[in-house]
Structure 1
Amino acid sequence: MASEVKMRVLVTGGSGLVGKAIEYVVHQEAGKLEGEEWIFLSSKDADLVDVVQTRAVFEKYRPTHVIHLAAKVGGLYLHMMENLQFLRDNIRINDNVLQTAHEMGVTKVVSCLSSCIFPDKTTYPIDETMIHNGPPHDSNFGYSHAKRMIDVQNRAYFKQYGHHYTAIIPTNVFGPHDNFSMENGHVLSALINKTYTAKKEGTPVKVCGSGAPRRQFIYALDLGRLILWVLREYKEIDPIILTVGEEEEVSIKEAMHMVAKALDFTGEVLFDTTKSDGQMKKTASNVKLRRYLPDFTFTPLEEAIKTTCDWFVANYDIARK
């Protein structure tokens, strides 16, 4: 007789950077426990902006737990031009997933927020209590407000129905399967592609801005491991920031040097100060995470960058760019 399924986990956005990292942890690092089923959805399986398609995919798999990573995202300039579209599409996606989960008796939902939801004018380090303390940065306010509403909705589902829906807030995520686009990719992944291309062509690497802004980077596999912990162990409705400590924050210039070293690039690096630096820092506190997991070990940044560079080179033809 087949063993009883104790937990059937549906991961939306399962083909993206974080979804692929969770899949790796589940299947390659023995993250899957006995009696568990894991389903990784991509946009090909369902358009979650459409409630009918959302309902159909939930009916098909009947999840007991959901990790909700799917979102409509774009580069900075696309966000600036289409704030309304990002607001509406993401509100629809999130409401469809959460309400369908409610209607079908899902035990727990863990949604993924973004560090861009925090107020533009704030004090540092940012912590989980500060999400709604002021407007987000104006460049992507549509996306940010839609993401903030997940937190509001989670609290409302708990208050009205006692549902255990919560959210995580990672900082700058990077790793294999990222979008390495030089225009729309995350900063680290864009630098990896730029450096690889410059090495191949014998040209300098051009970095937008001064290289002075500081960021906390979290390796996607570390994030995947932490999300599994949140799914199984974290009992709060309030969100939790998942990131390395404040002392691990590095400048874009320092990160660029790590990329150059990993790719054995010895050419010139030019910082284009005519381009905007964006926010100089977005320091987030991981005190809450450390209270729960004082001994969790993050992959050293240099090692994680090297692994990501090696993956990009080996998978250049299929990498998103």
Structure 2
Amino acid sequence: MSLQNGSMPTRVLVTGGSGMIGKAIEHVVSEEGGKLEGEEWVFLSSKDANLVSPEETRAVFEKHRPTHVIHLAAKVGGLFLHMQENLQFLRDNLRINDNVLHTAHEMGVRKVVSCLSSCIFPDKTTYPIDETMVHNGPPHDSNFGYSYAKRTIDVQNRAYSQQYGHCYTSVVPTNVFGPHDNFNIEKAHVMSALIHKTYKAKEEGTPVTVCGTGNPRRLFTYSLDLGRLILWVLREYVELEPIILSVGEEDEVSLRDVQDMISEAMDFKGEILFDTSKSDGQLKKTITNAKLKRYRPDFTFTPLKEAIKMTCDWFVENYDTART
């Protein structure tokens, strides 16, 4: 389905375009034939504009005049950074989201697709989690600032729809990983941190230390699969309600199993230690992708072991330029 509206040119602005998901979308657009005739794509990085600033947000929108926006930009970090700086994550992300959505409104953007996070869901809940449960209770204490800021996008989307009839919606991915992720061990999400730790341990001949017991279970989604699905949402998904873009609950794995797959992918034969003095975070976040399956029963996700191998290979090949 084309995004074009008569003779009006289509220009898609991707905030957070230099991050992992932005790079995945760019790959799908430029390398997999995802760009349709008459479309222009602009991928913004933090160097182009500080979206915490209303003035810089307005200036970059005026420069590019988008008709559609994929909003990925956020202040993000790993578990322990979130635990230390909940207030900063709350304030910065509230500002970013409000600036992007309100500027899109003021400039007549036709559709905005914002990226939420699986951490928005309630800590104490029943499983599997689905899209209707976003606001059913407080999120986990470890990153409540980030989680509430992300939830607010859903509230804003509803308000813009009610007051102005806008087509603003959101997607909820789970534990995304892949090329161009942030592999900084202190700031990265768990998969990328473990890949970097394993790389270093192999280089130095030391053990890999996994924070926690290795028992928490997660659903991991390969970034290129997510990129393909976000393009589908931009073109064809018309609901206001969020949609979970994730592998299915049958694909949930423990972090211990993930470390074993990383070790195999990187040919690491050293010792693996589990530091049980460190927090596990939530023990599980089982999510159902039943809604996605209703819309896209044909979509096939990259098998986890294959996706981990491709990500590890990318990281080794690009170690000198990767975010470490």
Q: TM-score, normalised by structure 2?
A: 0.96
Task: Please tell me whether residue 165 in structure 1 is matched to residue 168 in structure 2.
Answer: yes
User: What's the counterpart of residue 273 of structure 2?
Assistant: 270
Task: Please tell me whether residue 67 in structure 1 is matched to residue 82 in structure 2.
Answer: no
1:190-210 CA-to-partner distances (Å, cap 9, x unmatched) read: 111111111111111111111
Cα offset, 1:81, TM superposition: 2.7
Q: Matches of 2:7 and 2:269 in 1, distance apart?
A: 56
1:60-118 CA-to-partner distances (Å, cap 9, x unmatched) read: 00000000000112232332232222211111111110011001100000000011111
8 Å Cα contact 1:12/1:40 also seen in 2: yes
3-state secondary structure, aligned to 1:221: helix
3-state secondary structure, aligned to 2:105: helix
Task: Please tell me whether residue 13 in structure 1 is matched to residue 16 in structure 2.
Answer: yes
1:129-178 CA-to-partner distances (Å, cap 9, x unmatched) read: 00000111112211111111100010111111110000000000000000
1:179-232 CA-to-partner distances (Å, cap 9, x unmatched) read: 112222111111111111111111111111111111000000000000000000
3-state secondary structure, aligned to 1:11: strand
1:30-82 CA-to-partner distances (Å, cap 9, x unmatched) read: 10000000000001000111111101100000000000000112232332232
Give matches, 1:67-86, under 5 Å.
Answer: 67-86=70-89
Cα offset, 1:6, TM superposition: 3.6
8 Å Cα contact 1:128/1:241 also seen in 2: yes
Cα offset, 1:236, TM superposition: 0.1
1:256-292 CA-to-partner distances (Å, cap 9, x unmatched) read: 1110111011111112222221111001110000000
User: What's the counterpart of residue 205 of structure 2?
Assistant: 202
8 Å Cα contact 1:48/1:54 also seen in 2: yes
User: What's the counterpart of residue 300 of structure 1?
Assistant: 303
User: What's the counterpart of residue 123 of structure 1?
Assistant: 126
Q: Tell me the matched-pair count.
A: 319
The one of 132, 138, 143 equivalent to 1:135 is 138
The one of 281, 284, 303 equivalent to 2:284 is 281
8 Å Cα contact 1:4/1:35 also seen in 2: no
The one of 309, 313, 318 equivalent to 2:316 is 313
Q: CA, structure 1 residues 5+177, in 2 after alignment: closer, same or farther (shift >3 Å)?
A: farther
User: What's the counterpart of residue 107 of structure 2?
Assistant: 104
> Which piece of structure 1 moves more, 245-254 or 135-144?
135-144
Regions of 4+ moved over 3 Å: 3-6
Identity %: 76
Q: Give the AA of the match of 2:65.
A: R
User: What's the counterpart of residue 3 of structure 2?
Assistant: none
Gaps of at least 5 residues in structure 2 are 1-5
Task: Please tell me whether residue 176 in structure 1 is matched to residue 198 in structure 2.
Answer: no
Q: Matches of 1:197 and 1:4 in 2, distance apart?
A: 54
3-state secondary structure, aligned to 1:10: strand
8 Å Cα contact 1:80/1:139 also seen in 2: yes
8 Å Cα contact 2:140/2:282 also seen in 1: no
3-state secondary structure, aligned to 2:244: strand
User: What's the counterpart of residue 89 of structure 1?
Assistant: 92
Q: Give the AA of the match of 1:45.
A: D
The one of 226, 241, 245 equivalent to 1:242 is 245
3-state secondary structure, aligned to 1:256: helix
8 Å Cα contact 1:5/1:37 also seen in 2: no
The one of 192, 214, 217 equivalent to 1:214 is 217
User: What's the counterpart of residue 42 of structure 1?
Assistant: 45
8 Å Cα contact 2:171/2:243 also seen in 1: yes
Cα offset, 1:5, TM superposition: 5.8
Q: Give the AA of the match of 1:18.
A: I
Task: Please tell me whether residue 192 in structure 1 is matched to residue 190 in structure 2.
Answer: no
Q: CA, structure 1 residues 81+276, in 2 after alignment: closer, same or farther (shift >3 Å)?
A: closer
CA RMSD of superposed structures (Å): 1.2
Q: Give the AA of the match of 1:185.
A: A
Gaps of at least 5 residues in structure 1 are none
3-state secondary structure, aligned to 1:191: helix
